[in-house]
Chains A and B, each alone.
Chain A
Amino acid sequence: MVKATAADFEKSPATGISEKDFQTIAQGLHAIPADFKPLKKVEKQMSEWKTRMMEKRELDWQGAELLAYGSLLIEGSNIRFTGEDVKRGTFTHRHACIFDESFDTEYNRLNQLAKKQGKLHIHNSHLSEYGVLGYEFGYSLASPDNFVIWEAQFGDFVNGAQIIIDQFLTSSETKWGVGSGMMMLLPHGHEGQGPEHSSARMERFLQSCAEYNIQVANITTPGNMFHAIRRQMKRNFRIPLVVMSPKSLLRHAKCVSPVEEVLKGSFQEIIEDKADAKKVKRVLFCSGKIYYDLLDAQEKGKREDIAIVRLEQIYPLPTKQLEAIFKKYANAELYWVQEEPSNMGAWTYLMHQAYMQWNKIPWTYVGRISAASPATGYKKQHMKEQDEIINTCFK
């Protein structure tokens, strides 16, 4: 393993899998042993998932995630996955392990994919982010061939692990030459659930970003998540990946990717709009789930004058790709749109990066004003604020 450099982030490596491997994993994921009886609703859910993945050849979030883990396992990697509700998934979206309705016996869907495969060690953990993240970080140091994942119940809880993040995760390589390839999944997004269930404090991670120490991503499609996961194990260096992971997108009708997307290609740092650049007068740059709110307004208003560009990887910032987009839309006005308050989210980081890189800030800010608390506790207020952001963008 080597130390990551700027060149490593100009283009992500190819991380697609073969149709044969896809079939093996998809079959294995949805096979339930004859003597095992899951809850009825889980059985129904799994049958729907199977139809979606294998017949409609579509991936939702859980499908892409499990497919990515499965592909690493059948390639021989071991995976260790812990967090507060990881077996089922806090939002009942994962069901990596299912339970027999009469005997409580546990069936791990990912350890039965192939005769010879790596092992998924998956454990629900208690509510100590400090202790558990420290443990998982330590675990990840032992070998670059083990993929270690820690998931927070809600992203907000990651602040309980702040010491491990500051003292180890973001700085161990530069201080001690000790590198980790672990991934953190931190559910993030303003969905009207109040101040403690909205923010994984992306801004704190971004403030610590330098010298290619970590990667911060806010991913909007299942296909791109698939490639982000596999990319962690397919390079000759290991640095942590911090994912602002979705909540409502887990079940969003438009948040699906065709299976074909994971049979080829690589992680996309930026996802461009298909709009005709000549017609575009305003470009909305954004990251994460607000994209779907913007998309909805764009489609409903048939707004060909507005393009939406998604920043999927916030650090390292894909500056060359951004410059190409600036050039493409040279005559359009550029907005940075976020749902977080302006002192949070990616905005302060982007202003700093832009200033250092281009000596100017190319975007106009659209988002909530600075706030002491990450989100309002009132659902109505949340919706009003969210509408204002979208309306400003399409005014």
Chain B
Amino acid sequence: MDKFSFISNAHPQYIEGLYNDFRANPESVEEEFRQFFTGYEFASTNFAEPSSFSSDEFKVYNLIQAYRNIGHLVADTNPLRPRKDRGAKLSIQHFGLQEADLKKTFQVGSELGLGPVSLERILEHLRKCYNGTIGFEFNFIRNDEERLWFKAKIEQNPNFVQTGIDKKTKILRNLNKAVVFEEFLGKKFIGEKRFSLEGGESTIPALDAIIHTASNVGVKQVVLGMAHRGRLNILANIMGKTYEEVFGEFEGLYSKETMGSGDVKYHKGYSSMYPLDKGGEIYIKLSPNPSHLEAVNPVVEGLARANGDILFDSDYSKVLPILIHGDANNQIGFTTDFDEARSSDYSSAIASMIQAPVIHVNGDDVEAVVFACEMATEYRQKFSKEIFIDMVCYRKHGHNESDDPKYTQPTMYEIISKKKNPRDMYGEKLAQQGEIEQALVKQMDLEFRNDLQARLDNVKQKGHHL
């Protein structure tokens, strides 16, 4: 159980009454409350300016707990439109506080590591922690150690941004590859199904972040399972399948060694050594998958388990399975709206069944996405448990590129048609911050586009036997 549930569940006036009882006779209250009041008095006599007890402290404490519990419901995670109202009550009035209290100092600010500070300051901190572009859904987990780890990660420094120009440029470069690759395929192979990643381009820097973090915390092998959405992009930009191979498949060239009937290009697997920034490389494998979206998941988990048994003497921390639930995700299925598709708040609701935390993150804020991925990977290694990253993004086109999504979602697709891609958004942000020259994005775009064109020309001239 949550350590403080006996307080947060209780009415402030009731607690105030108990406190008065405690002051008259400490033995007159239950053990839990006696300990709490003793601690409270200790803290206020030793660390704070002497103040008379105020039941408002409990109100603020309840407010803090509420942000930890349900702050994610109002976090700014949707890149397209305001969140649906999920009934999260987080106004100070709901906790019995008034505007006038905003300037008052509260001891319970220490709970957030701020020391005694104004309610205004506490609120500002809470909003930064829990209502930004990341929504942390973790406080339902029963293991104290996990909850404390989350709180520390979030509340000590709620700037979920990346630092260092090298890292930022790398993120931009990865976004550029993701964006240009899709645009290029779209222009060169008109009408061909590619199940583009567009709208979810942050997946490429996200996977790069997971793989790099994993390699720093003892992982020797990464096994991926995913459906068709964005798969060609991941095959080329993460898995190391050459652009020539992908173009060759669009051109209808296929391997002479193919033994059987083969499969469509966006179902195929691949494995390679992924180069690491610090030098060296790590083995990554993408399992082939059928059209049945989630069927590959247990297969990948079983394969990861077997590799742990065979290669690492049953040390399963050495193998990291990643499952990407790419299609029919947080906004839309083929044409099914999220509200028709589920009764739960989130597409990740199944996580609560296995006490797995969820990090909801706005796919347009790529630095936050990278933060979420790094944090999630550390969590998995530290606690040997699953964790979900719910990257809320969107599908730029219809189910495939020649399909019209406006038949069923006209207003959402009106919004999408006017949106800038995540690379342009990030490029502008970095330019505004003075981190890069404005021209860098254009230059990256052109260089990569020319590179792809040269490779395509080569495939068309020579034919490419895979």
Contacts and interface: CB of A to CB of B under 8 A. Distances in A.
Contacts of A173: 259-260
A175 B307 contact: no
Contacts of B304: 138
Contacts of A131: 298
Interface in B250-295: 258-263, 267-269, 287-288, 290-292, 295
Contacts of A133: 298
B403 interface: no
Contacts of B261: 174-175
Contact of B303 (A80, A121, A141, A211): A141
B310 A143 contact: yes
Contacts of B260: 173-175, 177, 211
Interface string B383-402: 00000000000000000000
A281 B117 CA distance: 101
A132 interface: yes
Contacts of B267: 175-176
A39 interface: no
B309 interface: yes
Nearest to B298: A134
A142 B288 contact: no
A31 interface: no
B362 interface: no
B299 interface: yes
B303 to A, nearest CB: 4
A86 to B, nearest CB: 16
B131 interface: no
B9 to A, nearest CB: 34
B338 to A, nearest CB: 24
B259 A139 contact: no
Given A174-B261, A177-B259, A178-B288, A139 B269 contact: no
Contacts of B309: 78, 121, 142, 146
Interface stretch (A163-171, A323-331, A382-390): A163-171
A131 to B, nearest CB: 5
A168 B303 contact: no
Contacts of B317: none
Interface string A139-170: 11111001000000000000000011001100
A172 B288 contact: yes
A176 B268 contact: yes
B306 A143 contact: yes
B297 interface: yes
Question: Which of A80, A136, A139, A141: most chain B Cβ within 10 A?
Answer: A139
A267 interface: no
B302 interface: yes
A139 B301 CA distance: 8
Interface string B307-350: 10110000000000000000000000000000000000000000
A285 interface: no
B310 A176 contact: no
Given A163-B292, A167-B292, A174-B261, A135 B310 contact: no
A135 B301 contact: yes
Interface residues of A, number: 31
Question: Which of A133, A134, A164: most chain B Cβ within 10 A?
Answer: A134
A157 B325 CA distance: 27
Contact of B300 (A138, A164, A172, A211): A138
Contacts of B300: 138
B241 interface: no
Contacts of B128: none
A167 B306 contact: no
B380 interface: no
Contact of A176 (B288, B292, B301, B307): B288
B259 A142 contact: no
A340 B305 CA distance: 38
A136 B301 CA distance: 9
A137 B302 CA distance: 7
A66 B182 CA distance: 55
A62 B380 CA distance: 41
A3 interface: yes
Interface string A118-136: 0001000000001111111
A141 B259 CA distance: 18
Contacts of A139: 302-303, 305-306
Nearest to A176: B288
Contacts of A172: 288
A174 B258 CA distance: 9
A132 B305 CA distance: 13
Contacts of B258: 177
A80 B300 CA distance: 16
Given A135-B305, A143-B306, A176 B263 contact: yes
Contacts of B263: 175-176
A141 B290 contact: no
A78 B306 CA distance: 11
A2 to B, nearest CB: 10
Given A174-B259, A175-B261, A176-B263, A168 B302 contact: no
Nearest to B306: A142
B232 to A, nearest CB: 16
Contacts of A164: 295, 298-299
Contacts of A163: 290, 292, 295
Contacts of B262: 174-175
B307 A168 contact: no
Contact of B302 (A138, A177, A178, A211): A138
B245 to A, nearest CB: 15
Contacts of B292: 163, 167
B57 to A, nearest CB: 47
Interface string B166-208: 0000000000000000000000000000000000000000000
A21 B22 CA distance: 77
B303 A134 contact: no
Nearest to B308: A142
Contacts of A132: 298
B290 A168 contact: yes
Given A142-B306, A175-B260, A135 B298 contact: yes
B255 to A, nearest CB: 10
Contacts of A78: 309
Interface string A173-190: 111111000000000000
A393 to B, nearest CB: 41
A132 B260 CA distance: 27
A48 to B, nearest CB: 35
A138 to B, nearest CB: 3
A177 B268 CA distance: 10
A3 B298 contact: no
Contact of A168 (B259, B268, B295, B305): B295
Given A137-B298, A138-B301, 19 more contacts: A134-B299, A135-B305, A138-B298, A138-B304, A138-B306, A139-B305, A141-B302, A141-B303, A142-B303, A142-B307, A164-B295, A167-B292, A174-B259, A174-B261, A175-B263, A176-B267, A176-B269, A177-B258, A178-B288
7 contacts: A80-B306, A130-B295, A134-B296, A136-B302, A138-B299, A138-B304, A167-B291
Interface of A: 3, 78, 80, 121, 130-143, 146, 163-164, 167-168, 172-178, 211
